[in-house]
Amino acid sequence: MTRNNNDPRLNNNEDPNLAEEVLRDSGKSEDEVNRTGAIDRADEATEALFGEKARTVNSPVHRVFWDRAGIKHFGFTPSTPTAAVQEVIASAVALVQANKAAGTLYNERKKVTEQALLDIGATGYWGLRISPEFGGSGADVRTFMSGITNMAGKGCPMVAGLSSIHGCIGAVDPVLTFGDEWQKKEFLPRLASGQSLSAFALTEPGAGSDMTALKTTATPDGDDYVINGRKLFISNAIPGRTIGLVCMVPGEKHPAVIVVDLPKEENENFKLVRYNIYALKHGYNNGLEFTNFRVPKKNRLKAPADNGLIIAYHGLNYGRVALCANSAGVMRLMLRSITPESWGKFRKTYGEAIETRELVKRRVARLAALIVGADALTAWCSTLLDEGYRGELECIVAKIFGSEAQKEAAIEILMKTHGGRSFLEGHLFGDNVHDFLAPCIYEGEGEMLSMAFFKGLAKEHGLAYMLPVGKALKAVTKEGKWVSGGASFAWNGVRYATWRAGKFVRSFLAKFGLGYKQKVSGMNKRLQGHVDFALKLFTELSSELSGAMVKHQLKLADRQCRIAHLSTRVQKTLTILVTAMHGHQKGDEVTLRAADILCQDLRRELSGEQPSDAYFKACSDLADLIVAGRMTQLEGIPSTQVMQSYKQD
């Protein structure tokens, strides 16, 4: 990440921002204005950490949507890990596989054992993101995310999930990115070895997505902070862990982040808040209760603009991509469970194996397509993060697609294909259904994130056109400044009208196949057609989004369903573009066909068209290739046992 410490947004500037002005003018309460403004300021300050090229306004998504920029940044750069890093990932996966086979991976509560976690740490797995200077491997983001997919598919999804928690939203990213030299030397070696696995303690009983409602406090007292408060739904939080604690310091406006080593045992100052939770079957999720708990002041991370929310935002982007990477691995397990070695050949209807049935073939093809889509978004976002982009918009798309794809794969494909056996104890679906659904909530609920995506996409357009027009109109109608306000209104009205006219011309040309196409050298004809479709739709959607801003004006913030709908359409269009580019780059027949199937599915969702017979045949052809063992993404993925096998006399 390119740090830019001279940006004025890092100086606690209290000038009104767009979110505050819009909400105040629309009649919202001052409390809502202030809370929303605090979140928006944190977002602006996070943006300011990055160099100009890497910010949201210059991100691939923003530029292709508004400016018709080139599509060269919608592919991925293949990861080239060192032999040492490859050995770390392979050793960790092999160790987990061996523990599963021996029955030693989980304890009596079906949680990953502490010994297994320490043994995994000895391979170097927990230190993949940490530089060698502090005992890690220094792997790039692409390699780290690929390692998560490998661990989720071939080893254990929970271990992969712990890697995501630890390396992205836990203590690793905050210390790695924002820690001073003492903090890095103190914490990173222990985090790299796994001696201190980590978590991020943000959520409270009354503070979830509203991070301005935090009640946990850190009161200065000599060389320490005295912590009081309760955290809830904290993954990987048990005694002995290291956490990044988000809390309020009395007298300060913004939250702080303090690195806390939890005691090895509960005591009068620290207790776990235990509850039964269905998700995270093989991991821990607890509340944390602090009563006059002392932490050295030197453990506080220095946040830009003294705003700890910036630290939280930074790690969340990595965590969102990691969630998609994990989903890609989990869906590999699901697909393997319905291929011939497992269920597809065993289960017969009317004398024929279900793998021969068109309906099942359609499910196999759809699941393969979802896997390729998750792989595409993971590889693309990882490339952008490695190149220094903030990735806010891109990572949101990856998170939403990965979580929704896993949910669909579990309910519509895995469960329906396995039938009643899905609900047996020990079945892949029956044992893990809550874990399959939980990503729709973790790292941000999907529709809430869709609105955040909309805001990130629309903000610069609003600042450039809507805000000047609104200010001028306000000056005329409310303040009586007829000369200056009227002139400003006319000038900015002309500017916006010119922009709209340009969009109208481009949309008109697009109807005749002109002005939007970008040829990709050597691309398969079907995939090129999907790229063309996405670029054409971007032209239409940018006008549609701008039109919604004009139509609803100050009331747009209350039109959450409209915002989510528009946002989802943009995300699906973006997924078409990224998946087509991914299929082209990978080049093998199965990936190409699966990418084509996903793009066709998304195009129908956007256009309302019905599937053709040619589409169903394409699904069957793809399924036949997968049944024949041609899908390289399934190499090394273990088969699952057929439960309640039946025999005929």
Q: 423-432: buried (b, 16+ CB within 10 Å) or exposed (e) per residue?
A: eeeebbbeeb
Range from 50-59, 135-144, 489-498 carrying the lowest mean pLDDT: 489-498
The structural architecture, per CATH, of the domain 200-301 is Beta Barrel (2.40)
Paired residues of 352 in beta bridges: 349
How far apart (Å, rounded) are the C-alpha atoms in residues 178 and 314?
A: 10
Confidence of residue 340 (pLDDT cuts 50, 70, 90): low
The structural architecture, per CATH, of the domain 310-446 is Up-down Bundle (1.20)
- HEC profile of 526-539: HHHHHHHHHHHHHH
Give me the percent of the chain exceeding a pLDDT of 90.
Answer: 66
How far apart (Å, rounded) are the C-alpha atoms in residues 409 and 336?
A: 12
Q: Which of 42, 314, 322 is nearest to 171 (CA)?
A: 314
Q: Which of 35, 37, 39 is nearest to 18 (CA)?
A: 37
Q: Does position 324 have pLDDT exceeding 60, yes or no?
A: yes
Residue length of the chain: 649
How does pLDDT run across 383-441, given as a tens digit for each residue?
Answer: 999 999 999 999 999 999 999 999 999 999 999 988 888 999 989 999 999 999 999 99
Q: Which of 144, 155, 112 is nearest to 333 (CA)?
A: 155
AA identity, residue 511? K
Q: Phi/psi at 234 (nearest 5 deg)?
A: -100, 110
Give me the percent of the chain exceeding a pLDDT of 70.
Answer: 87
Domain boundaries, the chain: 200-301, 310-446, 453-587+604-609
The number of CA neighbours under 13 Å toward the Cβ of 2 is: 11
AA identity, residue 497? A
Higher per-residue confidence, 207 vs 128 = 128
Query: For 277-288, what is the mean pLDDT?
Result: 94
299, 259 in Cβ contact below 8 A? Answer: yes
Q: 109-118: buried (b, 16+ CB within 10 Å) or exposed (e) per residue?
A: eebbeeebbe
Query: For 119-128, what is the mean pLDDT?
Result: 97
Q: Does position 178 have pLDDT exceeding 70, yes or no?
A: yes
Range from 2-11, 79-88, 458-467, 509-518 carrying the lowest mean pLDDT: 2-11
Which residue in this structure is represented by tokens 């002995």? 240
How far apart (Å, rounded) are the C-alpha atoms in residues 331 and 364?
A: 11
How far apart (Å, rounded) are the C-alpha atoms in residues 18 and 13?
A: 14
Mean pLDDT across the chain:
88
- pLDDT confidence of residue 12: 47
Range from 255-264, 347-356, 585-594, 628-637 carrying the lowest mean pLDDT: 347-356
How does pLDDT run across 565-606, given as a tens digit for each residue?
Answer: 999 999 999 999 999 999 999 999 999 999 999 999 999 999
User: Would you state the torsion angle of the CA atoms of residues 429, 435, 439, 443, taken in this order, to the nearest 10 degrees?
Assistant: -170
Confidence of residue 26 (pLDDT cuts 50, 70, 90): low
**158: Cβ–Cβ under 8 A, 6 or more apart, which residues?**
112, 280, 281, 282, 283, 435
How far apart (Å, rounded) are the C-alpha atoms in residues 63 and 77?
A: 20
Confidence of residue 348 (pLDDT cuts 50, 70, 90): low
How far apart (Å, rounded) are the C-alpha atoms in residues 206 and 210?
A: 9
